Structure 1
Amino acid sequence: MIPIRLIIHNFRAIEHADIDLSAVSLAAIAGRNGAGKSSAFTIAPRYALFGDVISGVSLDDLVRRGASDMSVTFEFEHQGNVYRAIRTRSTKGKGKSTLELQKRVNGQWESRSAEKIVDTEAVIRNLLNLDDETFTASSMILQGQANAFTGATAGKRKEILSQILGLHIYEKLQECARQQASSLHIDIEKMKDKMLLLEERIAIKPIKEQELLLLEAQHISVLENIKQEETTIKLAETELAMLDTKKNRIEQINKELFTLDEEQDSLQKEKVVQSERLERAKKILENEENILEKSAELEKIQQQILSLETRKSELTRIQTDFLTSQTELQQLDDNLVQLDDRITKLQQELAGREALREQYECYEKEIVKLRDWEVKADTWNLLSAELSDISSKKEREESQYKLKKQRLTDRIAALEEQATHLHDSGCLPTCKYQQAAALALEELPKLQQILAALDRTEIDQLAVLIANKQMEQEALGYDYAAHRACKVQVDLLVEAVAAYAQLSSKEELLQQLKQQQHEKQNRKLMETKRLDTLQEQLLELEQSLAPLVELHAKVTELERWAKLKDQIAVAREIKVTATERLASIAKAISAIESKQFDALQERDRLMIDTLDYERIGTSLIHAKSLLQEQREQLTSLAEQIGGIKVILQAIELDQQEHNHLVSELEPKALRWTRYQTLIKAFGRDGIPALIIENAVPQLERIANEILGQMSKGKHYVRFETQRELKSRAGVTETLDILIGDWTSERPYETFSGGEQLRIDYAIRFALAELLAQRAGSKVEWLTIDEGLGSQDAEHRALVLESIKSVASRFKRVLVITHIEDAQAAFDQVIRFDNDDGGVEILVA
């Protein structure tokens, strides 16, 4: 993997940075503390690739303070292809994250992302063949974590080395072997259990054969009993069929008797109805004379009512006019009250005419003053805006002047310090540090001349211009408080001026209202007279219509007699027809009674013949029940016989399956033994241990090359992969670090802090190079974060030389440091100056 470009937006302290690393090979990362150097080169790439990479820090805490969205785009080359990972985070609402992996194909970016973020992260890990821990261990030496490998326990060191060597594949192989062995073990145990079950079922075969013989004998006996019962049932069913015919005739006779009863009831009911009709007709004919008199009286009363009803519409009209007149009179009273109120109010307003005139004259004077103040205020605001622009320009010029002066001063101080250190180092004239000192001495006079030539003329001119504008403002004589008081006074008088202007229109309105008042009073007198006339007419009509209620009541009583007038002719006809129908009904009833007697005689004879029906039926049911029991017993015996035959067939199949399982068990047991051997071979003490044993000498060789260069040949490193057990005989697997000098070997922990840092670097460089040689996950990038502070000048130079020597083995080497002489040792510098969120890349 080779980094190409890093685009950062609102990530931790960085507002925005677009860092192109395509032309960078070996560079120092410089800038003030808190500028975001470590965030950009150690955290941002890991966040883009692996997500949540800082323990105890949430993703929302990575968003720059004051912002709600952040993003990191990391573009890199891997195995000849160019990829980029784009990860974003928003704190809006419940928070939202996105991750996109893209590949550049023919100049275009194509997505290689999965549906979910966690699946896309798995795609990235599979592509790089690395997780965050291994990626960080191989490509970064983080601030304060240079001893992440050397300071770890022996077991942890071995685990890190296993990840670097890609030995996790053997864990997967071991897990696969375990799964296969477990599957085979389960199959073998199932086969054993199956064989035991089959043997138990095969053992019952003699017992089932004996049961089959007994059941077949019982089956033959039950068949003979069934034949005898079937003969008995046929005889009983024949006798019962004859009796059923007689019972059916009894039921038919009962139905006939029921029909005759219904006919007789119907005739009796009709006889009652005809008798009632005859009786009513006789009564109507007896009262014929009275009915005709009442009908004539009804006609006279109806004519009187018709005459009175014609006057009811006139009563309704007068009542409506009376109510309308009352309403209009009430409305006139309300209008007069409202007019009195408005006239009184206008008279009061016109009484204050003189006071309003004085306020109007005062308003005219104040409005002239206000216009003069507003002209001065406009001029004052224009001058204030000009002063603000000139002041801002002066502040920018002063800021740029101070920044230029500070940069020149810092550069001169750094060159002077570099020259002083290099004069004291004792290096040969051909040494790179000595040559750098000479160049620094040449550059110092030029920088000092530039510092002396810095010009403040424009800043002074702007200061004079600011003073002139301030004097011009003072000469205006503008008083904001007086301006404000004048405006308040004008606002207070506006309402009075408006009232004064309306006085003439209010006098005209007062005359109009008085005219309306006079007209409405005249209308009120006329409406009062009209209401009195309507009331007299209303009383007269009500008295003339008073008898109408009594006449209506009498009509209701006479109408009952009038209805009987039309029924007199019908009553004469009913009297004749009803008499004839009653004689016919009497003959029909006599005939029905004769038929009922004959039917009852026949029914009694048939009931005597069917007295034994219940006994024969009960015997037949009992016989059928016995037959059903015999048949059920026969079916049960057949099922048992069939079941035993099925069991015997199954036992035969079980015997065959048992023989087949015996033949399969032996090869499966052999395969299970072989998988157990593979599990042991793929374990830590198997093939991975052999690979580590072979890799440790290579790691030791690379580390000693670098450590010898750092310590001028004083120190070397040796790894021990086995240690003798103290409690018992034998050895255990380990990864101890021993450091040797010119006198003896000692553990890593017994050396000083500076010596430990050089040892840490040597081993970390060796681990990074070892990982770079791995096929399929080659990381050709190394970042070192603030690792030179604990070294003196001499050993710092040795460490820098070691970094440069290691740089040839990587495509990108980035060193984050705040030490200026260390920064000067690099040809390329990436400088962080993020006062405005920007990042500057300088290549010397």
Structure 2
Amino acid sequence: MIPVQLILKNFLSYRDATLDFRGLHTACISGSNGAGKSSLLEAITWAIWGESRASVEDDVIHAGAKEVRVDFTFQINQQIYRVIRTRIRGATGVLEFQIETPAGFRPLTGKGVRATQDLILEHIKLDYDTFINSAYLRQGRADEFMLKRPTERKEILAELLKLTQYDDLEERAKESSRQYKARAEELERSLEAIKVQLQQREFTEAQRVELEAELNQLQQVQAFENIQLQSLQVVQHQRQNWEQQLSFVRQQYQNLTQDCDRLHQEQSSVKTQLAELAAILNQEAEIKNGYAHYQSLQSQEEAFAAKFEQHTRATTLRQQKQQQLTQQIHEIERQLQQVQAQLEALAQQEQEIQHTLSKSGEVEAALGQLNAARRRVVQLDELQMQVSPLLQQRQSLQTYLDRIQASLVARLEQIQATENQLQRASQRHPELQQAVMAVAMQIEQMEKERVYLQRVQEKGQERRHFIERLQGQQREYERLLGELDQKLQMLRNPDAICPLCERPLDEHHWNRVADKTKSEYKETEEQLWVFREQLACTDREIQALRQEYRAISQKLSPYDSLREQRGQLAAQLESTSDAEEQLQQLAQEREHLERSLQVGDYAHDKQQELRKLDEYLQQLNYNEQDHVLARSEVERWRWAEIKQGQIKDALKRQTQLAARKPELQATIAQLQTRIQQEQTDSECAQQITALERQITEIGYSAEQHNNLRQAVRQSQGWQLRYQQLLSAQQQYPQLQGRLQELEAAKTTRLNERQQLASQIDEIVQQLAQSANPIEQIQALEQQLAIRRRQLDEQIAKLGRLEQLALQLETLQVQYEEQQQQLQACKKQYRVYHELALAFGKNGIQALMIENVLPQLEAETNQLLARLSANQLHVQFVTQKAGRSGKSTKKNAKLIDTLDILIADAKGTRAYETYSGGEAFRINFAIRLAMAKLLAQRAGAALQLLIIDEGFGTQDAEGCDRLIAAINAIASDFACILTVTHMPHLKEAFQARIEVHKTQQGSQVRLSV
């Protein structure tokens, strides 16, 4: 990726900036600290990957701006691309990706930011982590790799190569293997339990056959007893039929008896009714005469009822008219009362007006006093207008002088407090020196202990690695021992064959093979004992190292607190070193302040101005109290104006009342005349007179009407008796016919009852002759119930056994399925266990590092040859031989490491022995080789190189070495950018990108 152009708008410290990289090969980005040098590089990473140092996305937006935009154009494989990333504060971002064509830039933007980001990564073939570890040489990255211990360099290399993903795969594989192992153990326990249950199958089958035989026998006995019960039930059914027939006949006999009794009672009732009707028919003439008199009285009462209705209507209407007339008169009387009240109110107002007019002389005198008081207030107001600004100015001057005096007093108090603190601190100076020395000695001793602790830890790690290798070799020899034991077992057979070629063996060859196998078995067993002894010794060494590590760690527990205490004591000691000098300065300043406060020697111009203002105010002779008294005098006589207004209103009202009084008196006379006319000549009065004449003409008497009503009520009994006479004339023939019908029916019921009595006697005789089998039936039913319960119990037992047999069959199928699952789990456990080993540190990761190191070594040597004129050569050593105490080949072991050996004209020696310029060139070559290697692994060519190795941390010679190294490898890159804040180094670069911080934000200027 070769940068072409960078356009910034509101990005971090930049408002608007444009940087054109065309024609730049080796350039320096210079500027002071905080000017915005790193922001240019972060703009590139933010545009392409959306990554920056900001913890919150909106933090990349310039302070006070609402939107940020970065436009970055770059070249890859002779093709120009353009990335535009924008973001609005508080909203989501927008990402655009374009490619240059002859017609201009054509969009490649995907559907959404994520899709567009994936498309950009597909074209540039670099993710953010790979970029900052390859194209961006940050300060300390080379030293981080080179200055680590050889045993830790592999970890850093694995991190740079992104081999940590295999740690995740290893953990996932371990987790899967643990899950499958647990599942296998669970299946084994389940299979064992199922196996125990399956052992019950034969016993369950025997029980089932025995129960089936017992069940068949019980069913045969129950069938014979059912036949006996059915025969007895037939006899019982016939007897029940006779009993039911006897009950039915008896019920009919009883019903006929009841009918005879009912007919007899009905005959008696009909005879009684005939006697009553005959008595009524004998009174026929008397009843008719009484009924005729009743009808005559009823006609007279109806006539009186009509007169009563007419009298009531007239009386009601007269009452309504009387109420209407009364209301009209009351309304006129109410109006009369209102007018009379108004007339009385006018008289009262006239009295009040006369009282007000009587005080006119007193009011005139008070008005004169009021005008004089107002003229005095106007004079004082004009004087106040002159005095008020002067008083405000005086207040401001006095406030300023008080503030100056307060600040001097506060400073004096502060100086006194500081003097007290410095005196106490100066007294503690020797004590602090002794405390600092004591803590420093303790820290020095603990640092020695820390070095020893680190050596103990390294020794423990070495012993653990040694145990792991011993355990691996022990497992290998145990496997070999098992194979040899299997061969010996095969050779013990009479017809044994060769374990290797599988051919028959004669006695001679059998002895040779057996002796050789036994010899190998013995040697392997001896070597296995050696490994076990070494494991035991190493384990004891590790236990001792652990105890020693814990003891030293316990001693070092106060190390951090002591360092913090030393820093605090050093700060206190430094603060007390200049206490005497500060005390002298503070004493002089205190004396000066005390003298100034005593004589008022401060703010002379303000004090002079205050004195002039006081003299002028005395000449004006303005007194606020006099002003207040004048205002109160005006308020005291203000009532005269109010009274004057009241007198004017009283005169006006007196004229109005004089015109209003005759009108009210005339209205009262008219209303009194109207009341008299309404009582005699109004329409309502005339209607009331006519209604009274109509009532007299009707001539209605309430007493006569009441007497007639009482006579009608007394004669109402003849109407009832007349109705009874008509009913008796109609019912008497009917009742005579009904009496004859009842007599005939009674005779028929008696004959039928006699026949039923004969049937009852015959049925009773048949029941007496037949036997009753009810007891035998009950006994058989009880016995059958017992048999049925036994059958139910046997059937239930048989069902349970069949269910158990079905469950055992299911368990058998489940047992076979779980056996298959167990085999699959064991297989998966072995697979994931091997995968965990493969993904571990000693698996694929170690293999990849072993494969990468030759390439890294070759690339480093190629660069180093150019940087050192073929004087230096690098070699990476990943393993070295070691011994565990005995100088035998069997005890030799290989130790994992990553040593860096450097060959020069004097020979080959370790990297740690180099320093100065040679060490710098080695570091630079290795870091640059790593960058190229990471870019190649990502599938991209390393065309851009950004170097931020920290010019500020280098001396002049170091800076010259770095510039020389950059020039040496410049031909390998299309663009090299270096970052520095040291101005004198700009001259070493032909092209310079200068960054300045202004009020309008950071500005960029390109100098070529």
TM-score by length of 1: 0.56
Partner of 1:770: 933
Partner of 2:993: 829
- SS of 1:66 mapped into structure 2: coil
Does the 8 A contact of 1:5 with 1:22 survive in 2?
A: yes
* Letter paired with 1:816: V
- SS of 1:219 mapped into structure 2: helix
The alpha-carbon deviation at position 219 of structure 1 amounts to: 1.0
- SS of 1:224 mapped into structure 2: helix
Percentage of identical aligned residues? 24
The alpha-carbon deviation at position 317 of structure 1 amounts to: 5.7
- SS of 1:310 mapped into structure 2: helix
1:141 to 2:151 alignment: no
In structure 2, what is the Cα distance between the partners aligned to 1:261 and 1:122?
A: 115
Match of 1:687 among 837, 840, 844: 844
* Letter paired with 1:40: L
In structure 2, what is the Cα distance between the partners aligned to 1:631 and 1:831?
A: 109
Q: Tell me how large the CA RMSD over aligned residues is.
A: 6.9
The alpha-carbon deviation at position 572 of structure 1 amounts to: 6.2
Relative to structure 2, which stretch is displaced further, 820-829 or 231-240? 231-240
1:309 to 2:316 alignment: yes
- Relative to total residues, which structure has the larger helix share, 1 or 2? 2
**Unaligned segments of structure 2, at least 5 residues:** 281-286, 354-650, 886-891
The alpha-carbon deviation at position 218 of structure 1 amounts to: 2.0
- SS of 2:934 mapped into structure 1: helix
The alpha-carbon deviation at position 214 of structure 1 amounts to: 1.7
Partner of 2:217: 221
Q: How does 1:665-676 map to 2 (within 5 A)?
A: 669=826, 672-673=829-830, 675-676=832-833
Partner of 1:782: 945
In structure 2, what is the Cα distance between the partners aligned to 1:167 and 1:724?
A: 26
The alpha-carbon deviation at position 217 of structure 1 amounts to: 1.8
In structure 1, what is the Cα distance between the partners aligned to 2:254 and 2:913?
A: 124
The alpha-carbon deviation at position 762 of structure 1 amounts to: 4.2
Q: How does 1:468-507 map to 2 (within 5 A)?
A: none
- SS of 2:1006 mapped into structure 1: strand
Partner of 2:959: 796
- SS of 1:813 mapped into structure 2: strand
The alpha-carbon deviation at position 735 of structure 1 amounts to: 4.4
Does the 8 A contact of 1:233 with 1:623 survive in 2?
A: yes
Partner of 2:794: 637
Partner of 1:202: 198
The alpha-carbon deviation at position 680 of structure 1 amounts to: 1.9
In structure 2, what is the Cα distance between the partners aligned to 1:618 and 1:85?
A: 110
Question: CA-to-partner distance for each residue in 1:263-317, whole Å, 9 max, x for gaps?
Answer: 999xx9xx99xx9xx9xx9999997777666554443332222123334665676
In structure 1, what is the Cα distance between the partners aligned to 2:900 and 2:953?
A: 22
Question: CA-to-partner distance for each residue in 1:523-550, whole Å, 9 max, x for gaps?
Answer: 99649945984698589989979999xx
Query: CA separation of 1:533/1:83 partners in 2, compared to 1, >3 Å: closer, same or farther?
Result: same
Match of 2:157 among 157, 161, 172: 161
Does the 8 A contact of 1:291 with 1:562 survive in 2?
A: no
In structure 2, what is the Cα distance between the partners aligned to 1:261 and 1:47?
A: 123
Query: CA separation of 1:521/1:839 partners in 2, compared to 1, >3 Å: closer, same or farther?
Result: farther
Does the 8 A contact of 1:87 with 1:97 survive in 2?
A: no
Query: CA separation of 1:642/1:140 partners in 2, compared to 1, >3 Å: closer, same or farther?
Result: same
**Unaligned segments of structure 1, at least 5 residues:** 345-509
Partner of 1:436: none
Query: CA separation of 1:31/1:321 partners in 2, compared to 1, >3 Å: closer, same or farther?
Result: farther
Does the 8 A contact of 1:2 with 1:780 survive in 2?
A: yes
* Letter paired with 1:696: L
Relative to structure 2, which stretch is displaced further, 190-199 or 536-545? 536-545
The alpha-carbon deviation at position 763 of structure 1 amounts to: 3.8
Does the 8 A contact of 1:711 with 1:798 survive in 2?
A: no
Partner of 1:45: 45
Q: How does 1:598-677 map to 2 (within 5 A)?
A: 630-631=787-788, 633-634=790-791, 637-638=794-795, 640-641=797-798, 644-645=801-802, 647-648=804-805, 651=808, 669=826, 672-673=829-830, 675-677=832-834
Partner of 2:1006: 842
1:29 to 2:29 alignment: yes
In structure 2, what is the Cα distance between the partners aligned to 1:795 and 1:662?
A: 72
Query: CA separation of 1:833/1:211 partners in 2, compared to 1, >3 Å: closer, same or farther?
Result: same
The alpha-carbon deviation at position 129 of structure 1 amounts to: 7.7
Query: CA separation of 1:85/1:778 partners in 2, compared to 1, >3 Å: closer, same or farther?
Result: farther
The alpha-carbon deviation at position 130 of structure 1 amounts to: 6.8
Query: CA separation of 1:296/1:665 partners in 2, compared to 1, >3 Å: closer, same or farther?
Result: closer
Match of 1:300 among 288, 292, 307: 307
1:212 to 2:208 alignment: yes
* Letter paired with 2:63: R
- SS of 2:108 mapped into structure 1: strand
Query: CA separation of 1:648/1:299 partners in 2, compared to 1, >3 Å: closer, same or farther?
Result: closer
Query: CA separation of 1:516/1:10 partners in 2, compared to 1, >3 Å: closer, same or farther?
Result: farther
Does the 8 A contact of 1:788 with 1:817 survive in 2?
A: yes
- SS of 1:110 mapped into structure 2: coil
Relative to structure 2, which stretch is displaced further, 820-829 or 573-582? 573-582
- SS of 1:27 mapped into structure 2: strand
In structure 2, what is the Cα distance between the partners aligned to 1:662 and 1:755?
A: 67
- SS of 2:950 mapped into structure 1: coil
Question: CA-to-partner distance for each residue in 1:584-642, whole Å, 9 max, x for gaps?
Answer: 89979x979989x9999999x89x99x99xx9999989976875665565455345435
Does the 8 A contact of 2:95 with 2:109 survive in 1?
A: no
TM-score by length of 2: 0.49
- SS of 1:29 mapped into structure 2: strand
Query: CA separation of 1:660/1:560 partners in 2, compared to 1, >3 Å: closer, same or farther?
Result: same
* Letter paired with 2:833: Q
Partner of 1:416: none
1:817 to 2:815 alignment: no
Question: CA-to-partner distance for each residue in 1:215-249, whole Å, 9 max, x for gaps?
Answer: 11221133134324544654447358635677789
In structure 2, what is the Cα distance between the partners aligned to 1:220 and 1:180?
A: 58
Does the 8 A contact of 1:13 with 1:34 survive in 2?
A: no
Q: How does 1:37-76 map to 2 (within 5 A)?
A: 37-42=37-42, 45-46=45-46, 49=49, 57-59=55-57, 61-67=59-65, 70=68
Query: CA separation of 1:579/1:791 partners in 2, compared to 1, >3 Å: closer, same or farther?
Result: same
Does the 8 A contact of 2:69 with 2:87 survive in 1?
A: yes
Q: How many residues align?
A: 656
* Letter paired with 2:38: S
Does the 8 A contact of 1:150 with 1:760 survive in 2?
A: yes
In structure 2, what is the Cα distance between the partners aligned to 1:25 and 1:334?
A: 118
- SS of 1:111 mapped into structure 2: coil
Partner of 1:90: 89
* Letter paired with 1:14: Y
In structure 2, what is the Cα distance between the partners aligned to 1:6 and 1:257?
A: 130
The alpha-carbon deviation at position 2 of structure 1 amounts to: 5.5
* Letter paired with 1:685: N
In structure 2, what is the Cα distance between the partners aligned to 1:709 and 1:558?
A: 158
- SS of 1:141 mapped into structure 2: strand
The alpha-carbon deviation at position 684 of structure 1 amounts to: 1.2
Question: CA-to-partner distance for each residue in 1:104-136, whole Å, 9 max, x for gaps?
Answer: 69812332547xx7x998998899887654443
Q: Looking at CA atoms only, which structure, 1 or 2, has the larger radius of gyration?
A: 2
Partner of 2:407: none
1:696 to 2:845 alignment: no
Q: How does 1:217-366 map to 2 (within 5 A)?
A: 217-231=213-227, 234=230, 235-236=232-233, 238=237, 242=241, 295-311=302-318, 314=321
Query: CA separation of 1:24/1:193 partners in 2, compared to 1, >3 Å: closer, same or farther?
Result: farther
In structure 2, what is the Cα distance between the partners aligned to 1:86 and 1:144?
A: 31
The alpha-carbon deviation at position 788 of structure 1 amounts to: 1.3
